[in-house]
Structure 1
Amino acid sequence: MTVSDIENALKKIEKAEYYQRFLMVVLILLFVFFIVAMFFFSDIRQLYRAQMNSYTFNLLMLGLILLSLLFVSYIAIKERSTKVLRNCLIQEKTATLVLESEREKLSTLLEIGSLLSSNAEKQLIFDTICSGLARCLKGDRSSLMLYQKETEKLECVSCYGGQKELILGQQLKIGQGIAGWVVQHRTPLLLAKDISRYDFINLTEKSRNITSAICVPLELGGQIKGVLNVSLIDKENHFFDESDLRIAKIFALSAVLAIDRTVHYETTRKLVPSIQTPA
């Protein structure tokens, strides 16, 4: 459960409690009105007047009304104190959920970081970056696109989530689509709700409804290396926020270092046999 889910649930609870309090007050007032009507407009009034004088009767009625008002006030005060206590408990619960969510994100970052710092195969590193970002931000799909100097295009080298076969190997020109825009401007993007309305060049229509997305450039030493994407699909009440964007930026820093080191390692490993062969 996210913070937004908790806030929506709280609004529903407060609305239900408002109607309950309103109904309770109406019932109490109706009860008081019924008692007063019984005393003033029924035969009971004559019976009481036969047993007591007018002053005592009026004093009795005034006491009844005051007791009713005190009872309503007592209920209102208790309700208010209960509401304050409940709100405190809810705030603590919300804070606990937020801290737990942040702990999970940091734990995932450390876990992924340890693997990225190893000498694992290049494709494993790429796949780990994609799956790690999706796990960290609880995304439904993520992809890694690297800039290819030969073609001057972005190529999807890894994908996590559904429809991998449609995304892997896909190429984009710089400036094309969301990823191309991010690379061209070297600016991270946080998109939420109705992504199709954004004005991107050649934005491809998706078969599934992407409700929120984060796209961050992979840049090292002033050179663009690629772009990292993560998205939520068909999540009407869940969107990425600024906190998720910060996590994605931190993740991208580790990812681009791992990618650069892995590419250099692969290149060096291929060159070593050719260097040693003439000897």
Structure 2
Amino acid sequence: MANTPSGATVDKVKQDYDEQASMYNVLLKWPFGQLESQLFASAVGSDDFCRGATVLDIGGGTGLRARQALEAGAARVDVVDFSDEMMAVGRRDAEALLGPEESAQRLRWFHGDATKPLFGTTTETERVEGLAGLSPPYDVVMANWIFDHVDKPEVLEALWRNIAAAVKPGGRFIGVRACDPRCEAMSSGNSTIPSTGDGRPAIHLENASLEVSYSGSTEMHERHGFTDVEIEPCEKQGVVRADPGFWQLWINKPGFVVVKARKR
């Protein structure tokens, strides 16, 4: 989740994530955090496409979704993020939950900025080195919330180039993205950000999103070689079925969605 445009915005968001890394996982306790976890588990568990897969999690933060991919049967997940503090939390959690040996075998952590080429590029005038140790092509590439810190088309293109370069033909993409930030569900009780107890939000992050991302357009997917774009239905998730009235605004116009696609 922690990748943003270059320059001052990158520095600010990186600072936000570093400072709030220890509190970040508290979001799981709140309704929209529970819904995200259930939607993501449903998505990575469908068709068994994660079973035995190699996975790249771009902007993987504390590894919440990486661990869900492992639970769905992935053989290994490589996490790339630019916040060392987020990844430090992820390493501790993974070792506690999986054990040190399994964690080391199945989760690898890479410090990197996904707005830069992750796998290196060569042109007539220059050569850009990628992150050493990454091993494309992957069976699955995940990119959760990273499009929601982007305010420049060229940065969005850079992210999608990395996604497309990471996944093999026939492989899968899965990602969480924000929808219209002005939708009513985002200001209702089912998306309230937890408080520290003194009136301040526990989590505060700089956000920006281009319409081509939050509108539901499949333009970027198709431009970068992905097809069969689908949204994981929220109505089927346990937290929604348990209290459909509470979630009606979200069902009508969700605050975020989990998107799946296939590489041509």
Q: TM-score range by the shorter chain?
A: under 0.3
Structure scoring higher RCO (CA < 8 A, sep ≥ 6) equals: 2
Scaled by the length of structure 1, the TM-score of the pair is 0.21
**Structure having the higher Rg:** 1
Scaled by the length of structure 2, the TM-score of the pair is 0.22
The structure where helix makes up a greater share of residues is 1
